Homo-oligomer: A and B are copies of this chain.
Amino acid sequence: MSSFFDNIRRVTPYVPGEQPEGKVIKLNTNENPYPPAPAVGEILAATDADLLKKYPEADIGSLVRELSKTYGVKPSQVFVGVGSDDVIGMIFLSCFAGEKPIAFPDITYSFYDVWAELFRVPYRTIPLKEDYTIDVNDYDGDWGGVIIANPNAPTSIELPISDVEELVKRHPECIVVIDEAYVDFGGTSAMPLIEKYPNLLVTQTFSKSRSLAGMRIGFAVGNEAVIKAINDVKYSYNSYTLNRTAITAGVASLSDPEYFKKTCERVIRTREAARAELSKLGFSCPESKTNFLFATHESIPAEYIQKELKKRDIYVRYWNKPRINNRLRITIGTDEEMAALYAALKEIIASCR
């Protein structure tokens, strides 16, 4: 191979969950089973295509302002990006730029270590306890940053807000990021703490609770000076990130808090029913504050169940990784989709007897 390859970075890319086409039951990528707020469809149908010839707002101002109203913060405390992946990537680039390692759990969202490697940020992983919970004492030390998904993925477990505050308080030396992708499904947000702790950043996404995975919208809330630093990096990287339809769809989604509350509650109800139902089938799952369950069966290996479900056109997520290789991450679908899942599981379990 020619020598220009010497300059090319080799990475082990993150493998996203399968995105099968056609008539399947997709419980593998934590999407919301319900459509976005009706206002989203209305605003998109009314798009004036002529406007698309112009760049979108560089500061994403209209969406930033609506987010600031929705969450009771100042516009200057809000950063918006192309999904929370982009938001957290920008935080890594802008806030984890020192020489000290950053810390995060060994079992968590699998992008943290790839971002750290990509941006040459030194890092250390801190093992979760045996029961997959986080002990904030394990984070004692002098860090370049800390990032915690809360509720954590793929475990679905929430770190109590008092522990989150303790962690943020103990680490004034660095930015502590709380990645709340799933918080709207019954968790407690750390957002009210941002006034008290300038080193706290809270990130959220429109992909799960707002049913807008297809639009790619995420945001961070924090101290003004920190948000400005992230924006400075963003402007130096790509001035125009969210396109015009994403901005208007995001604003439309925020305009309907009733619908938002209702769909989150529906997912929570189905989740609680699913946990009980799966328990009857011999599964156990930690208490979930997310739109998925982290299930293990008393006798049948997780990998086998995943393959058997796939044969029946039902997709759930499985990782062949230490400590979680007998677990399935099952997204909460509609009640109908879950009923199909239970029926398939019963069949699989019966065939193993």
Contacts and interface: CB of A to CB of B under 8 A. Distances in A.
Interface in A21-72: 26, 29, 31-36, 38, 40-41, 44-58
Interface in A69-120: 82-83, 85-86, 89, 93-98, 100, 111, 114-115, 117-120
A339 interface: no
A244 interface: yes
A199 interface: yes
Contact of A198 (B2, B36, B144): B2
A4 B8 CA distance: 33
Interface in A9-23: 9-16, 19
A238 interface: yes
B7 A36 contact: no
Interface stretch (A129-137, A208-216, A341-349): A208-216
A260 to B, nearest CB: 13
A254 to B, nearest CB: 15
A32 B44 contact: no
Contacts of A231: 13
Interface in A169-196: 172-175
A46 B41 CA distance: 10
Contact of A53 (B35, B48, B58): B35
Nearest to A208: B53
B115 A9 contact: no
A295 interface: no
A126 interface: no
A49 B249 CA distance: 10
A243 interface: yes
Nearest to A113: B236
Given A52-B35, A199-B2, A85 B237 contact: yes
Given A172-B4, A216-B56, A118 B238 contact: no
A239 interface: yes
Contacts of A161: none
A245 interface: yes
B82 A53 contact: no
A240 interface: yes
- Among A51, A82, A144, the most chain B Cβ lie within 10 Å of the Cβ of A82
Given A7-B174, A29-B55, A100-B7, A216 B243 contact: yes
B175 A235 contact: no
A55 B12 CA distance: 22
A203 interface: no
A229 interface: yes
Given A7-B95, A237-B89, A51 B214 contact: yes
A204 interface: no
B229 A83 contact: no
Closest 10 CB pairs of A and B: A41-B49, A7-B98, A13-B235, A9-B97, A52-B214, A53-B211, A214-B244, A85-B238, A245-B245, A114-B236
Given A52-B212, A52-B249, A245-B245, 17 more contacts: A2-B172, A4-B174, A4-B175, A7-B144, A7-B145, A9-B229, A10-B229, A11-B232, A31-B54, A35-B52, A44-B44, A52-B214, A53-B213, A82-B243, A83-B240, A89-B237, A214-B244
